[in-house]
Amino acid sequence: MLSIGSVAPDFTAETTEGPIRFHDWLGDAWAVLFSHPKSFTPVCTTELGAVARLLPEFHRRGTKVIGLSVDPVESHVGWSADIERTQGHAVTYPMIGDVDLAVSKLYGMLPAETPGTAEGRTAAANATVRTVFVIGPDKQIKLALAYPMTTGRNFDEILRALDSLQLTARHKVATPADWKPGEDVIIAGSVSDEQARQAYPDGWKAPAPYLRIVPQPR
């Protein structure tokens, strides 16, 4: 997979909303690019329904969402009725049909190659695993996750991570384990005590010198 801090590679692709050039589609927004193994499969159906349910929350955070699998666009379109019927939410975000594996290979979305086949990959190894990339307005990758095909993702957690990424991009803070929006945060280690006193004149809690806890900035 691509490294955090690297520029998200640009590409052109066919989607359920027409052809796109990725960086143009991103504009100056945050974005979530996620892959799923295959259309008309059970775990993927629940995942795409979950993203559809949470789409207003992503939009409220100024974040675009786009999905991908190696199925053709027509397959995504035909599947959407099943997703809405079984999950209660229609898919209204674009889905990439990466039939030639170009984007999947560019972003490291495929499982390890399987030796012993004519082209080096079995049909199963041609399906994307469950990757997630959060991309910032600067086109850099801010978060990268990969789940196996049998484990559905928790998109509420991805929203939580997005909240942390956006907060820490605005302020020189970090978020502790299990943090939720509105809870205390940690002054970044790059901020000296002198600098911290200017930003937090009321001081901070410090159970250790390197662990400076303050209320979440607004």
44 is catalytic: yes
For residue 31, name the pLDDT band (cuts at 50, 70, 90): very high
**Alpha carbon of residue 178 to chain centroid:** 18
pLDDT of 103 > 70? The answer is yes
For residue 218, name the pLDDT band (cuts at 50, 70, 90): confident
**Residues 122, 124, 129: CA angle, nearest 5 degrees:** 125
For residue 114, name the pLDDT band (cuts at 50, 70, 90): low
Average pLDDT of the segment spanning 38-60: 97
Secondary structure (H, E, C), the chain:
CCCCCCECCCCEECECCCCEEHHHHHCCCEEEEEECCCCCCHHHHHHHHHHHHHHHHHHHCCEEEEEEECCCHHHHHHHHHHHHHHHCCCCCCCEEECCCCHHHHHCCCCCCCCCCCCCCCCCHHHCCCEEEEEECCCCEEEEEEEECCCCCCCHHHHHHHHHHHHHHHHCCEECCCCCCCCCCEEECCCCCHHHHHHHCCCCCEEEECCEEEECCCC
β partners of residue 31:
64, 135
Contact of 55 with 93, CB cutoff 8 Å: yes
For residue 74, name the pLDDT band (cuts at 50, 70, 90): very high
Q: Which amino acid is at 78?
A: G
Tell which residue, 139, 195, 151, has the closest CA to residue 172. 195
β partners of residue 34:
67, 132
Q: How far apart are the first and last CA of the chain?
A: 34
Per-residue burial over 163-192, b = 16 or more CB atoms within 10 Å of its CB, e = otherwise: bbbbbbeebebebeeebeeeeebbbeeebe
Name the catalytic one among 2, 26, 31, 44: 44
pLDDT of 138 > 80? The answer is yes
Determine how many CB atoms are found less than 10 A away from the CB of residue 53.
13
Structure tokens at 29: 């927004």
pTM of the model: 0.93
pLDDT of 124 > 80? The answer is no
Average pLDDT of the segment spanning 148-173: 97
Q: Is the dihedral of CA 89, 137, 18, 78 positive or negative?
A: negative
Q: Which domains does the chain have, with CATH numbers?
A: 12-152 (3.40.30.10), 171-214 (3.30.1020.10)
β partners of residue 15:
96
For 181-194, write each residue's pLDDT tens digit. 999 999 999 999 99
